[in-house]
Amino acid sequence: MSDKAPAPAPTPLRFGYGTNGLADLRLDDALALLADLGYDGVGLTLDHMHLDPLAPDLPARTGRLAHRLSDLGLEVTVETGARYVLDPRRKHGPSLLDPDPDDRDRRVDLLVRAVRVAADLGAHAVHCFSGITPAGTDEDTAWKRLAEALTPVLESAATAGVPLAVEPEPGHLLATLADFHRLRRALGDPEHLGLTLDIGHCQCLEPLPPADCVRAAAPWLRHVQIEDMRRGVHEHLPLGDGEIDFPPVLAALSAVGYQGLTVVELPRHSHAGPHFAELSLPFLHRAATTTAPPNPPPLRDAPPSGEPSATPEGSTP
């Protein structure tokens, strides 16, 4: 008789779709669509057309949205990657790395607002990213700015009981899983600092296959974004249009006990958002029930950190 404990049962995955891929729809219409299609939740990007975080009466509007999500049976993660929500001229500007401390504070304020929204919505996490290192800023200074800027956000996250899930983004200062761990150590490994893992980004530039990235990231995993992608090219593709082998990835997420949302991230496909939302969920369900091979082949050597990008400034499309 074996003394070995039985392996834990795989965790059922819950799938969502990002509102940044439904930007041409009113928020209520987007949520109703996702519920009708059978999604478990939504990745809500705070933007001028979707729960504008800078407009008046944010708490009241958030309360109404919480009721609507509950009525539709949708879970939520709050995302903060809107392109021009703070500055109509600078994509994703200002960032946490901006040379101007007042501009950095504007980004910090947005993230603190996002934490409050997330708490009021009962969200799994708040997503954020570092931003691109500004011209003329050395690496050490950039990392110092990032750690200092995130400190008050993490304090708000701890007070609210909502994890802050930082995303490694190709072209950004924090571009890889190794960079996430550098930040984590610099901040003293705070409890409410977690990770957003974008599966396409793993395919794009990590040295490990995406499924191995999931296993390596498991202790810090608080949010997952998913799309297809090709090696060395930061371009979000519809599921099945790139190089990712999805069954091993989804099997790994389930095996490590990931309990958040796995959110389809297609921000450049809003022109056909309802179409891709309809296609993506059956694709994921099929992939989740397909047996994964035990030993996927390793990826090629990784490109230089943060280098590959098919998008201006190397940030989220």
Q: Which two tokens stand for residue 37?
A: 């299609």
> How is the chain split among helix, strand and coil, in percent rounded to 5?
40, 15, 45
Give the Cα separation of 29 and 119 in Å (integer): 23
* Domains along the sequence of the chain with CATH: 14-293+304-314 (3.20.20.150)
- Region 144-150: what's the mean pLDDT? 98
Burial of 20 (0-12, 13-18, 19+ CB in 10 A): buried
What mean pLDDT value characterizes the chain?
92
316 vs 84, higher pLDDT? 84
The Cα–Cα gap between 219 and 14 comes to 18
- The amino acid present at 312, given as its one-letter code, is P
165's enclosing H/E stretch is strand 164-166
Record the tokens describing residue 211, joined without a space.
Answer: 């499924």
Q: Which helix (H) or strand (E) holds 128?
A: strand 126-128
> pLDDT tier at 10 (50, 70, 90 boundaries)?
confident
Calculate mean pLDDT across residues 97-117. 98
Tens of pLDDT, residue by residue over 211-229, are: 999 999 999 999 999 999 9
Give the residue-averaged pLDDT of 122-150: 98
Beta bridge partners of 41: 16, 75
What tens digit of pLDDT does each residue of 286-303 get? Answer: 999 987 555 444 444 444
Lowest mean pLDDT among 7-11, 65-69, 170-174: 7-11
Stated pTM of the model: 0.91
Please give the structure tokens belonging to residue 98.
């901006």
Between residues 315 and 76, the one the model is more confident about: 76
DSSP 4: P
Confidence of residue 11 (pLDDT cuts 50, 70, 90): confident
Query: Which residue matches tokens 């490994």?
Result: 189
The pLDDT score that the predictor gives to residue 309 is 35
The Cα–Cα gap between 126 and 177 comes to 18
Residues 6 or more apart whose CB falls under 8 angstroms from that of 279 comprise 238, 239
